[in-house]
Structure 1
Amino acid sequence: MNSRSKRPEWLSKDSFFNNSSFPFKDLNDLNEDFQLDPTVIEDYVKDTIRQATVGNEMLPNPYTLRYETFDTHNFLVVKCYVPKRVHPENLWIKLNRTQIKIHGLPKDQSQTIVLPVPILPAQSIATYKQPTLQIKMPKMSTGRFRDINIRFL
């Protein structure tokens, strides 16, 4: 019988899966019948990780870019880390005052990044230096304060 097809009993006793006691609760239970085949352990670990991460929204989507936003006095800079599976020449960027939309990701995906402050899209520039795409955008100024004369009536 193949060792991968033979599933040891301790897998079904794991509290993570069946709410019963963990197999190593009492180390005196380990005997010669209990075989620690490396392939079975590897399968067990893979199954445990897969079941623990199902539905976990914290895991990154493989078709989105990781990015950081840097807010300086006059500029907003967004650095996107482009993975090797994305060809940088396939990327194109659209901007408006409050969002960046990056097209050309795998499986015809696009990614929208909401900006924390309004920017001037027409004066923005993007540069790529492996593996980073950097978008430098001037902020919209809130305007300078001006003195306003008060008319007394």
Structure 2
Amino acid sequence: MAMNWDDLEQWMEGQKMPKGFDVLREPDWVEQFVRKLMTKALPDVANVMPGPSGSPDAKAFETHHFVIVKYTLPPGTERDQLQVLVKADKVKIKGLPEGKTEVIKLPKPVFPKQCRALVRGGVLQVKLKKRPGGELYHIADVRWE
């Protein structure tokens, strides 16, 4: 049964679930839950399991104020071809050998314009500033007539 996360997400949207089960509609939460279960059950396999991006070469972790992505560049990556594109929830690496592209999901939302990228020893390191935690509210002006 080859089903990708998009199919699962679409199926979950159509399901009528009891109150409190809304978290199961979020594929990222389900993926993290399954990953934690697998890590606890098979600790030897945990080091070999690919990260959220699907690639064992990519690692995304967070500090107090930043999300840091480390990606081991494959041999033959050309300096002039490499591009790093950043969105609030993911990093896309283009210009890899054989026309490949890597997409790495981020554990927390970030400010895309506040990032730094560096290649050191064949490893691409991208440092991204995290958005403030929690749901932020905007206070709307209320006009009375």
Structure 2 length normalisation: TM-score? 0.51
Listed as ranges, the gaps of 5+ residues in structure 1 are: 1-57, 145-153
SS at match of 2:98: helix
Which of 99, 104, 112 matches 2:103?
112
In the alignment, what sits opposite 2:12? none
CA shift digits 1:64-102 (9 cap, x unpaired): 671112210000001111122222332101111001111
Distance 1:84 1:112 in 2: 18
Do residues 67 (structure 1) and 58 (structure 2) align? yes
SS at match of 2:110: coil
Letter in 1 for 2:57: R
Which of 90, 99, 105 matches 2:81?
90
- Greater shift, 79-88 or 99-108, is seen at 79-88
Listed as ranges, the gaps of 5+ residues in structure 2 are: 1-47, 137-145
SS at match of 1:89: coil
Asked if 2 retains the 8 angstrom alpha-carbon contact of 1:65 and 1:83, the reply is no
SS at match of 1:107: helix
Runs of 4+ in structure 1 over 2 Å off: none
CA RMSD of aligned residues (A): 2.5
CA shift digits 1:30-65 (9 cap, x unpaired): xxxxxxxxxxxxxxxxxxxxxxxxxxxx898xxx67
SS at match of 2:94: strand
Asked if 1 retains the 8 angstrom alpha-carbon contact of 2:49 and 2:56, the reply is no
Do residues 101 (structure 1) and 92 (structure 2) align? yes
Letter in 2 for 1:91: L
Letter in 2 for 1:96: K
Letter in 2 for 1:97: A
Do residues 133 (structure 1) and 116 (structure 2) align? no
Letter in 2 for 1:139: K
Post-superposition shift, 1:116?
1.0
Residues 79 and 100 of structure 1, relative CA distance in 2, 3 Å threshold: same
